[in-house]
Amino acid sequence: MSHSISLQKTRGAGLSRLQLVLGLMGFIWLSLCVYVIFPDAFGAYQSYITLPAAAAVVAVYVLMFQMWRGSRIAIVGLSLVSFWIMVSVLVPALPLIDPNKPIAPFLSPGSSKDGLTFWLGTDMRGRDILSRALWGSQRILVWGITSTASAYFVGISLGLMAGYLRGWWDEVFSYLTNVLLSFPVMVLLILMLNYLGQSPFNVILAITCSSAPSIMRIVRGLALQERSRDYVHAAQVRGESALWIMVMEIVPNIRGPLIVDACLRLGYTTVAITTLTFLGLGLQPPDPDWGLMIREATSSAMVWKFAYMLIIPSLSITTLILGFNLIADGLRELSLRD
Amino acid sequence: MALLMATVSLLLFAIFDSDQFRKQIAVAELGGFGVAALSEADYTDWIAKRGLDAPFLERYVSWVGQVFQGNLGHSLEYNMPVSSLLADRLTSTGILAFFFFLAMVPIAFTLGIVAGIKEGGLLDRIISIGSVVSTSIPQIATAVLLTVFLSLGLGWLPSKSAMVAGFSMKELVLPILTLLIYDVGYVARMTRASMIEVMSSNYIRTATLKGLSSAKVILRHAVRNALIVPVTLVFLQLNWLLSHIVVVEVFFQYNGFGQMLYNAAMYGDIEVLQAAALTASMVAVVSQLLSDIAYALLNPRLREVK
């Protein structure tokens, strides 16, 4: 019963902190999506449409900081991820050199030309690396978060149906999961992108197919545990529909392990997308992207002198993934402490 | 198990039976100017000539028969039978995998056990943080950073592993290190969790209270049980390896299974792609089975029941 009571309490207090955070994160995600998907929708004001999201990033950071104060690891992770989200939100408004404009190739970090200073140097086509690295965060975050969200939507829906409704649903979905999980991830991704063709939408679809099965397995296991709890029985006796019970009763009660898993999975999908771009599948040039930067630099500048072209995108992707993983680790630590 | 294999192979057959992939093969065999230029009449003729207008299930059964006879089709890029290409590339990847497991298993198990002996101790904290960091670096970044520092900077190791001048152990080091950095962290973490669970169990407390030295408690009693789960996990790493070998082999230009799969996908060598996907999924299914068998064999409680 304690579950439903605590649920009632949060609902009674109006907007809970978690709902606020989720709402703000949705707003940040939406404004980034609008910016990336409709590059010309707002004409001259295009560079400024993501600015309100910057305030939301600060708000989310402060709220999360208070929630996770107990874990130093989670705070470090939160700071790393927030940094990159902040960068991706602010980057259109920052006074940066155009990331796709070839100016002077192979300039070393800190040098300047034509009155422009290239703090991190330029790449083999003469594009500013600092600008490309910062812009790259935007693409990776938008597609990484979108495909993780899509995988979660599918995984949670199927997992709840399999775990709560049991019977046929369980048989069919569990078998489907086993079939999809018998492909190594990268093999499945390459195969699907080859079959469907390369576009951002198909990347999302392929990532969903490769990670939804394991999410479904986790959710199914959790739902199986929860369905025999008293609060579920109470809801059944009240005459609630199965959909209401699954979404309004079970989901809030299994959110703890799911949030930890979501952080880890955000890392996995981000890595998968970067790897696909490195392999030349998935997202296409010329827009800046960390995987693409590594791909281009490995094919033309494998010398010690130009190693910065390789190191900068590698460190960018590493810090982002490290952030996600540290958050997951910190949250696990916090949940054990309770 | 067999049902799963049948479903997976049927799925793969159905995907590669689609018009899209068929047309790519047709273009490659007829020598046209791409799929768009292929005329409908030529395509229909080609289908009739290849016998592809037979009923779907009939063709599936005959395809399975062919696969069992080792006939996987013809590689258009290399102009050789897919089976011999596959055998060649699997051997290369097998060598890589062998040395990888040879290094990974002892390192990861030792680190995990040492960390798990005392939860929250200094060693545990160092190893735990280390494993979070090492599993956070994407393979592609590890490959880049190792190449930049060990190869371009210090010049200790060759930056490419194409093995142009015959087999060379030195060229294997960087790809293996790249794979190790991630996976040692992951397996050590799992070993640590298993060890912590065992160390807090009653029988270990009994052994300690009986007056056994802590070395004896750990080596004779704890480790044996703590390693059951990690050993089954090692089999599952085969599935993981098949996925991650692609980017590592492509980056280091190692001529193995992963690069074959990648090239087949990039250059439209459809029958190679099909064979590679089939092999990869079958290896994954078998490794799952092996892992289950290992668990049943190692776990004394399950042994008694039988």
ipTM, two decimals, is 0.86
Whether residue B191 contacts residue B230, with contact meaning beta carbons closer than 8 Å, is answered with: yes
Q: What is residue A300's predicted lDDT score, i.e. its pLDDT?
A: 76
Judged by CB atoms closer than 8 Å, whether chains meet at A195 and B145 is answered as: no
Judged by CB atoms closer than 8 Å, whether chains meet at B136 and A315 is answered as: no
> Can you tell me whether residue B75 is helix, strand or coil?
strand
The H or E element containing residue B203 is helix B202-209
Residue of B nearest to A290 (CA): B141
Q: What is residue A219's predicted lDDT score, i.e. its pLDDT?
A: 93
Q: What is the pTM of this model?
A: 0.87
Q: Is A34 among the domain residues?
A: no
Is residue A112 pLDDT above 80, yes or no? no
Give the tens place of pLDDT for each residue, B233-285. Answer: 888 888 889 889 999 999 888 888 999 999 888 888 888 888 899 999 998 88
Q: List, as one string, the DSSP characters of A73-142.
A: HHHHHHHHHHHHHHHHHHTTTS----TT----TTPPTTEEETTEEETT-B-TT--BHHHHHHHHHHHHHH
Q: What is residue A45's predicted lDDT score, i.e. its pLDDT?
A: 76
Q: List, as one string, the DSSP characters of A215-250.
A: HHHHHHHHHHHHTTSHHHHHHHHHT--HHHIIIIII
Contacts of B27 (CB under 8 A, 6+ apart): B34, B35, B37, B38
Which of B208, B231, B221 lies closest to B296 in space, CA to CA? B231
Residue B17 has which token pair?
Answer: 């039976």
Is residue A8 pLDDT above 50, yes or no? no
> Can you tell me whether residue A314 is helix, strand or coil?
helix
Establish if A293 touches chain B: CB-CB under 8 angstroms.
no
Question: What is the per-residue burial (b if ≥16 Cβ within 10 Å, else e) of B194-225?
Answer: bbbebbeeeebeebbeeeeeeeebbeebbbeb
Give the tens place of pLDDT for each residue, B13-55. Answer: 888 888 778 877 877 777 766 677 777 777 788 788 777 777 8
Q: List, as one string, the DSSP characters of A289-306.
A: -HHHHHHHHHHH--SGGG
Q: Is A244 among the domain residues?
A: yes
Judged by CB atoms closer than 8 Å, whether chains meet at B152 and A303 is answered as: yes
Give the tens place of pLDDT for each residue, A208-218. Answer: 999 999 999 99
Q: What is residue A158's predicted lDDT score, i.e. its pLDDT?
A: 93
Q: What is residue B32's predicted lDDT score, i.e. its pLDDT?
A: 65
Q: Is A226 among the domain residues?
A: yes
Residue B169 CB burial class (10 angstroms; 0-12, 13-18, ≥19): exposed
> Can you tell me whether residue B81 is helix, strand or coil?
strand
Q: Is A54 among the domain residues?
A: no
Distance, CA of B111 to CA of B245 (rounded, Å) = 24
Which residues in A lie closer than 8 A to residue B261 (C-beta atoms)? 187, 190
> A135-149, A184-198, B69-83, B231-245: which has the minimum mean pLDDT?
B69-83
Establish if B260 touches chain A: CB-CB under 8 angstroms.
no
Domain containing A163 equals 97-337
Is residue A113 pLDDT above 80, yes or no? no
Judged by CB atoms closer than 8 Å, whether chains meet at A187 and B159 is answered as: no
Question: Could you tell me the CATH number of the domain that includes residue A274?
Answer: 1.10.3720.10
Contacts of A336 (CB under 8 A, 6+ apart): none
Establish if B4 touches chain A: CB-CB under 8 angstroms.
yes
Q: Is A85 among the domain residues?
A: no
What is the β-pairing status of strands B74-75 and A116-118? unpaired
Contacts of A171 (CB under 8 A, 6+ apart): none
Q: Is A57 among the domain residues?
A: no
Q: Number of folded domains in chain A?
A: 1
Which residues in B lie closer than 8 A to residue A304 (C-beta atoms)? 148, 152-153
> What mean pLDDT value characterizes chain A?
84
Of B18, B247, B281, the CB nearest to A182: B281
Higher pLDDT, B59 or B104: B104
Judged by CB atoms closer than 8 Å, whether chains meet at A183 and B135 is answered as: no
Give the tens place of pLDDT for each residue, A22-41. Answer: 899 999 998 888 888 877 77
Q: Is A33 among the domain residues?
A: no
Distance, CA of B157 to CA of A267 (rounded, Å) = 30
Distance, CA of A219 to CA of A211 (rounded, Å) = 13
Q: What is residue A154's predicted lDDT score, i.e. its pLDDT?
A: 94
Q: Is A18 among the domain residues?
A: no
Establish if A326 touches chain B: CB-CB under 8 angstroms.
yes
